[in-house]
Amino acid sequence: MNVWLVAATVLLFALVLPFSLLARAPRIDALVALELASAVVTLVLLLLSEGFHRSIYTTVPLVLAGISLVSGLVFARFMERRV
């Protein structure tokens, strides 16, 4: 196990707090937790691709970064009607 995989494991344990906020927090706070979770998951996937020495695996987190940004904005747009 190298340092990249250890860092990915630590960040996976750091996802416990945003996921608990997603389940229990009000809508606005849940949106912030969702954005934080998507950023951390992107970092975890990048660390895993580096840890396994597979450069082809880098494509997925880069696409996820763009999609999560856009989806957060769309979700906030639809949510503003209810808040």
Task: Quickly list DSSP for 22-43.
Answer: HHHS-HHHHHHHHHHHHHHHHH
The token duo for 65 is: 């970064």
pLDDT, the chain, mean: 90
Which residues lie closer than 8 Å to 11 by C-beta, 6 or more apart?
40, 43, 44, 47
pLDDT band at 55 (very low <50, low <70, confident <90, very high): confident
* Rounded distance between C-alpha atoms, residue 15 and residue 40, angstroms: 7
Q: Identify the pLDDT of residue 30.
A: 86
User: For residues 8 and 47, is the Cβ–Cβ distance under 8 A?
Assistant: yes
Percent of the chain with pLDDT over 70: 98
The pTM score is 0.86
Q: What is the mean pLDDT of residues 19-39?
A: 89
